[in-house]
Structure 1
Amino acid sequence: MFSKSKINDPATGTDAATTSAPSSAPSAAAPAAKQSEFKASAPKVKPAASVLSADLHVTGNMKTTGDIQVEGTVEGDIRAHLCTIGETATIKGEVIADDVVVNGRIVGRVRGLKVRLTSTARVEGDIIHKTIAIESGAHFEGSVQRQDDPLNPGAKSAPAQKANPAS
């Protein structure tokens, strides 16, 4: 749009724009290459998390490479980069994410590199994790298992890391 090439120059007329010489083709391609290099090196803006509001009821599985915050009810599995389960949320299914923060209720398995149960968390199911934090006041019924790669369902657990169910 704002270029100083002769193709867009109003003094040359519209005929010059449609019948450009082969020597002008490399100069037209050069700005496009420079522009794509700029975009590649520009800092990436992290998109906001997808939010499922408290009045929303979802039946089915959800999968995203981004972040998700659930405040409503989900009957199905959730897979995300960061999954935050709000205080009003109820999940009936498996939650798989790099980071899982549970403030609400999950009935099902939790798999995550980092799993955090806050004081308002209610989890009924197994937790498979690399690192875990359970705040005082959290309710948990199930087993805890440490794995080096908890996101891979075929990975084996680390020896002697299985805990008894706690509540």
Structure 2
Amino acid sequence: MGLFGGDSDKDNNNILKGLFQPQQEQPGLKTVITIPVEKVKPRPLRFFLQIYIVGQQNQKDSQSWLPREDEEGGLQIYYKDGTGMCQIGLQPNAIQIQRHGERPSLEYMLQESVMLHGVLDELYKIAFDEVEDVEESQRLLKLDPAAIEAARKTLPARQA
């Protein structure tokens, strides 16, 4: 029997086996929202969403949310209690929002929902608000307005 309960003959050379290998499954990963889009300009849209989230990071409590860019060009948004992280992926034909965390706290779940309602409001403004100096062809986001409302219905809590 080895030090950590394994068979010492088999495990001696593999103490760190699997530690640095990519995970095949990601436990605690859940797709919260998928919004189909006709067109998206990912970098400028990510910038606008970052500005919005930075403005929201002190809602409820100081430093509640911490936004970071991910490797694929999306956003990772960490909550202060460390039980969950929300990831916004900007793909050519969809915006996908995923939750990471095996057991997010009730507080996280509530605050995530409130924050995502705000993100949906921002996406709606970016796609549909009347702006004099922006032509329709130059918008950062084109999508069906019903897609935002369908996404909103999947969220449990409403923004106050």
Which fold has the larger relative contact order, with Cα–Cα distance below 8 Å and residues 6 or more apart in sequence? 2
Q: In proportion to residue count, which structure has more helix? A: 2
- The TM-score with structure 2 as length reference comes to 0.24
Larger Rg: 1
